[in-house]
Amino acid sequence: MSAPTVDTAGTTAPRRPAPLLRHSLVLARRSLAKSLRNPGSLVNGVMTPALFMVLFVYLFGGSVSGSTDAYLQYLFPGVLVMGAGIAGMLSSGLTINIDMKKGVYDRFRSLPIGRSAPLLGSVLADLVRYLITVLILFAIGFLMGFRVGTDPASAVAASALAIGFGFALSWVMVFLGVLLRDESAVMAITFVSILPLLLGTSMAAPVDTLPGWLRAWAGINPVTHTMDAARALLTGTPAGDSVTLTLVWSAALVAVFAPLSVWAFNRER
């Protein structure tokens, strides 16, 4: 700092490898630190599916499956996917939409980091949130009497599928969150789509027991495939092509909406 001509490089540190990933991880940690200070949305994301589980099992369990225990075995995998899905829909899109309007994003954009690092950081942080959600749901399910009917590896695979699908779904919301200015619009879309997307599925009852119109929707709803896949992996019901369909859907959602989100995020505002 002695002479102006010497103090050139701006930052003093040498550049280190993989800057985008490293910066994204730094920003993911920021996002998690904030979420720990203000755990409201995390709690929401866990409580909603947990409440559904308790309600459905104890209210309808007896009549649907003959016993609450038997119904829990059917319901739990769907609730798990619902938890990951809700977490995906509630977190990144809305958080980014609100965050982006604050001055701190202008500072990020004036720093020598990848333009999409704040976006990636937020989405990466969400992965941790899904993991927490899934673990808590497993704990609640266990307390209520759910037991994995297959093996631990399959249970891990089911969790991974649920998290992967939640992650894929979150990119749709991230895109909307980045695209739309108005946070209430983002919130409205989230709540309007949660119901058909997560409940119009095989979660509460097998698809072929649903009325025709709902069956048609549930049949094409990718969430149904994920729930079927999770059920197969956790309880040993036949998987069919549900695992493949889940993977294809997840990959397709990410492939379409991640680049769109990055594009929308990097636009000049």
Partner 1 sequence: MTEYAFRAEGLVKRFGKTTALAGVDLAARPGSVLGVLGPNGAGKTTAVRILATLARPDGGTASVGGFDVVRQAARVRRLIGLTGQQSMVDDELSGRANLVLIGQLLDLRRTEAAARAGELLERFELTEAANRPVATYSGGMRRHLDLAACLVGRPRVVFLDEPSVGLDPGKREELWRMVRELTAEGTTVLLTTQYLEEADALADDIAVIDHGRVIAEGTPAELKRVVGGQAVSLRTTDPERSQAAAAVMERVAGRAPERTRQTLSVPVESDTAAWEMAAGLRERGISVTEFSLHLPGLDEVFFALTGTGRTSATPSAPVGTGTSPTNGTDPSPPVGPAPSDAGKETSA
Q: Which residues bind partner 1 (CB under 8 A)?
A: 1-5, 7-16, 19, 23, 26-27, 30, 33-34, 37-38, 102-104, 106-113, 117, 268
Please say which residue, 109 or 215, places its beta carbon nearer to partner 1.
109
Please say which residue, 19 or 240, places its beta carbon nearer to partner 1.
19
User: How many Cβ atoms are within 10 Å of 7's Cβ, its own excluded?
Assistant: 10
Min separation Cβ 266 and partner 1, Å = 11
Nearest to 141 by CA among 63, 209, 149, 129: 149
Please say which residue, 111 or 192, places its beta carbon nearer to partner 1.
111
Min separation Cβ 15 and partner 1, Å = 6
Core vs surface per residue 232-252: b (16+ CB within 10 A) or e: bbbbebeeeebbebbbebbee
Min separation Cβ 225 and partner 1, Å = 38
Length of the chain (residues) = 269
Paired tokens of 124: 């990466």
Please say which residue, 230 or 264, places its beta carbon nearer to partner 1.
264
Please say which residue, 104 or 192, places its beta carbon nearer to partner 1.
104
Please say which residue, 117 or 161, places its beta carbon nearer to partner 1.
117
Min separation Cβ 33 and partner 1, Å = 7
Min separation Cβ 39 and partner 1, Å = 12
Residue matched to tokens 């197969």: 232
Question: Rounded to whole angstroms, what are the CA distances from 137 to 71, 82, 142, 157?
Answer: 16, 10, 8, 16
Min separation Cβ 101 and partner 1, Å = 10
Min separation Cβ 88 and partner 1, Å = 22
- Phi and psi (nearest 5°) for 263? -60, -50
Please say which residue, 8 or 63, places its beta carbon nearer to partner 1.
8
Residue matched to tokens 């200015």: 181
Question: Rounded to whole angstroms, what are the CA distances from 103 to 43, 98, 110?
Answer: 27, 11, 11
Core vs surface per residue 29-45: b (16+ CB within 10 A) or e: ebbbeebeeeeeebeeb
Residue matched to tokens 């209520």: 144
Chain-centroid distance of CA 139 in Å reads 19
